[in-house]
Structure 1
Amino acid sequence: MKVRVVVTLKPGVLDPQGKAIGHALGSLGFVGVGEVRVGKLIELEVADEADVEAMCRQLLANTVIEDYRIERDG
């Protein structure tokens, strides 16, 4: 089974990478871009989707500063 894990910073956590991207977009002439936040997408093929939650808590996301959601195919 294929699953996707989307990891994002929690609201209020500073995102220097997002800020740099937002600044660069402005420098390139793109106007109207508001706040930019950077996250990560992890695609997994797993035999048992029950393990994915534990994978997220133990390795894939730093739950102190990051939120995650699991998207299942089908």
Structure 2
Amino acid sequence: MKARVYVMLKDGVLDPQGAAVQHALGALGFDGVNGVRQGKVIELNLADGTSEEAIAEMCEKLLANTVIESYRIEVL
């Protein structure tokens, strides 16, 4: 089975990479970009029957820094 984990900085946490992307898009002539938040997608190939709770535990222990990041799990 496959799962995707989407990790993003929590609201209110400064996102310097997102700000750099927003600035670069403006410099390239893409006006109207009012905000960019950058995150990561982690795709996992897991044994069949792996529970969503086990995936959440992986996120809590390693995949996301839950102090400043939130995550969303998508089982495919």
Task: State the partner residue of 2:40.
Answer: 40
Q: Deviations over 1:21-73 (max 9, x none)?
A: 00000000001111100000000011113421110000000000000000011
Q: Secondary structure at the match of 1:67?
A: strand
Q: Secondary structure at the match of 2:31?
A: coil
Q: C-alpha separation between the residues in 1 aligned to 2:56 and 2:23?
A: 35
Q: Which runs of 5+ in 1 are unaligned?
A: none
Q: Secondary structure at the match of 2:32?
A: coil
Equivalent AA in structure 1 for residue 72 of structure 2:
R
Equivalent AA in structure 1 for residue 74 of structure 2:
E
Equivalent AA in structure 2 for residue 4 of structure 1:
R
Runs of 4+ aligned residues of structure 1 deviating over 6 Å after TM superposition are none
Q: Which runs of 5+ in 2 are unaligned?
A: none
**1:67 matches 2:54:** no
How many pairs does the alignment contain? 73
Equivalent AA in structure 2 for residue 43 of structure 1:
E
Coordinate RMSD, CA, aligned: 0.8
* TM-score after normalising by structure 2: 0.92
* TM-score after normalising by structure 1: 0.95
* Mapping of residues 1-74 of structure 1, within 5 Å: 1-47=1-47, 48-49=50-51, 50-73=53-76
Deviation at 1:5, TM superposition (A): 0.1
